[in-house]
Amino acid sequence: MFITKKNINGNDYYYLQKSERQGDKVISKSVAYLGKDKEKAEKKAEQIINQQNNPSEKTPIKKSTPQPKQISIEDLAAFCKRKGFVYPSGEIYGGLGGFWDFGHLGVELKNNIKQQWWKYHTQQRSDIVGIDGAIITNPKVWEASGHVSSFIDIAVQCKKCSYKTKIDKHELETAKCDKCQGEYENKGEFNPMFTTQVGPIKEDSITSYLRPETAQLIFADFKLVQENARLQLPFGIAQIGKAFRNELSPREFLFRMREFEQMEIEYFIEPKQKCPFIEETKTVDILIYDEKMQKNNKKPELINLHQAWKKGIIKTDWHAYWIGQEYEWFTSLGANPNNFRARQHTSEEKSHYAIDTWDLEYKFPMGWKELQGFANRGNFDLTQHQEHSKQNMEIIHEDKKILPNVVCEPSLGVERAFLVFMFDAYHQDPQRNNTILKLNPKLSPIKAAVFPIIKQPEYEEIAEEIVNDLKKEWNIIYDRSGSIGRRYARNDEIGTIMCITIDDKSPKDKTATIRDRDTTEQVRVKIKDLREIMRKVINEGESVLDFGKRVNTRKK
């Protein structure tokens, strides 16, 4: 068997091939798709070849990790507040429902999530570029998009316990109170867009809206971006930014907010264009819950994504591809694969613009809930903007003028991703009697903590030098107060990847010990190698413990 590289639309894809004799000819057959990264492809190929040679050692495509007990959303909110991740906004005045502030660690985690998303979806691809649109724009954008007339929820109040919530129109007859199963009273329709006056003099001002999604700026700017970035179909435009919805009952901490951030892609294709990346779905097994299963009261099924598309459960190759991409993004950053499923919207619940929608759902402590949406918007938005603005939105594709389709719009809330990474990282360790936040190194707010073992100038000077050096690249903590055990514990709780200690050997042999957060094991390394070690651990996912001689210590 051998690896081949194919170049499709400027991207390299690796495949495992084998040669077979058929009569007097030798033909080459594809065995497996290996991904886009050469090193990972080589590792995967080795695994497949080993499995074929030793079938008894077959491993599942994605290993399931043991499921730690999830804490409640209220406990997570309390933890986030206690440790400096998230606070109720304006809490000294009693806060304001649906608005949250991110503290000194929360802002780092949130920025890291956005940075990783941006890298994966724009910098590492050649078919997607980004924009950063305005929060307030010409209100005609929202008339054209249908948000003024059709972005409507129904407010209801429980007749028994007075609980207020919003429901979709189609649920009016059947919905029962989430809290007590009582009957709801219809309190009328409402549009969750926040309005604002643009212009300081009342008579001259116009009413506009705080954007309820980032997507529309991508459509409104579509022609400019396509021309300036010289994009050819298929291509995507991505955006990360604030969105605002005047939710009737914001709740469940960061799950339903009034001010939040979205990370969205509009992926444009020629309506009949096939997905050249579909092979990538072959390595993804995921729980699938389509409309039929839901209506027949069946359970979701674990299905290979490629098979789900082949069997017509997921209608388009693009939908299957994007669900797989996003699932891979989450799991490659440490999210637990067992907590994800793909659920199709029933025909009654689809948004006004959608032909078919799937959600990537996550098993939150309050149940399976939408994490990310994947709507097939067809050419609804470009058609609407073309009609309302009287600007031609067509582009030239293979010598013809066409209006592209958005066959899939992966749309994710930053704060919902924040919750996922926090839930899956949060571990209570009975041996250490402490919380360990096992965040992926790329996401950890603080990459290392540096300690002098005792407060003495000879140790402190070395520690400070290391901090100053490492700080050029990462967030580093210098901590010299409290016992070493206490210092380890408070760093474990906030997800610091490693603790670097300057001890009595350091001044003599220019070494330090590094303690690994997840195992508490320690190794001794040369101080001059610290930066390179950290690069490998953070960027390439290598283990700290592979870089030095183990140090015999009490487990802490």
Residues that bind ligand GAP (CB under 6 A): 213, 215, 245, 247, 256-257, 260, 262, 264, 370-373, 409, 411-413, 415-416
Amino acid at 349: E
Q: Least distance in Å: CB of 98 to ligand GAP?
A: 7
Distance, in Å, from the CA atom of 228 to the CA atom of 223, rounded to the nearest integer, reads 8
Q: Least distance in Å: CB of 247 to ligand GAP?
A: 5
Q: Least distance in Å: CB of 364 to ligand GAP?
A: 12
Determine contact, residues 410/325, Cβ cutoff 8 Å: yes
Q: Least distance in Å: CB of 239 to ligand GAP?
A: 10
CB closer to ligand GAP, 15 vs 267: 267
Q: Name the residue whose CB lies closest to ligand GAP.
A: 413
Q: Least distance in Å: CB of 354 to ligand GAP?
A: 9
Residue positions counted in the chain: 556
Q: Least distance in Å: CB of 304 to ligand GAP?
A: 24
- In the structure encoding, which two tokens stand for residue 540, read together? 């390439």
Would you give the DSSP letter of residue 71? Answer: P
CB closer to ligand GAP, 215 vs 489: 215
Handedness of CA 277, 278, 281, 282 (dihedral sign): negative
CB closer to ligand GAP, 236 vs 452: 236
Q: Least distance in Å: CB of 406 to ligand GAP?
A: 10
Distance, in Å, from the CA atom of 135 to the CA atom of 243, rounded to the nearest integer, reads 7
Q: Is residue 135 classed as helix, strand or coil in its secondary structure? A: coil
- In the structure encoding, which two tokens stand for residue 131, read together? 């924009």
Distance, in Å, from the CA atom of 138 to the CA atom of 284, rounded to the nearest integer, reads 42
Rg (the chain; Cα; Å) = 26
CB closer to ligand GAP, 417 vs 470: 417
Exposure on the CB side of residue 300, measured as CA atoms within 13 A? 19
Determine contact, residues 154/166, Cβ cutoff 8 Å: yes
Exposure on the CB side of residue 68, measured as CA atoms within 13 A? 18
- In the structure encoding, which two tokens stand for residue 46, read together? 């080795």
CB closer to ligand GAP, 412 vs 489: 412
CB closer to ligand GAP, 112 vs 520: 112
CB closer to ligand GAP, 262 vs 283: 262
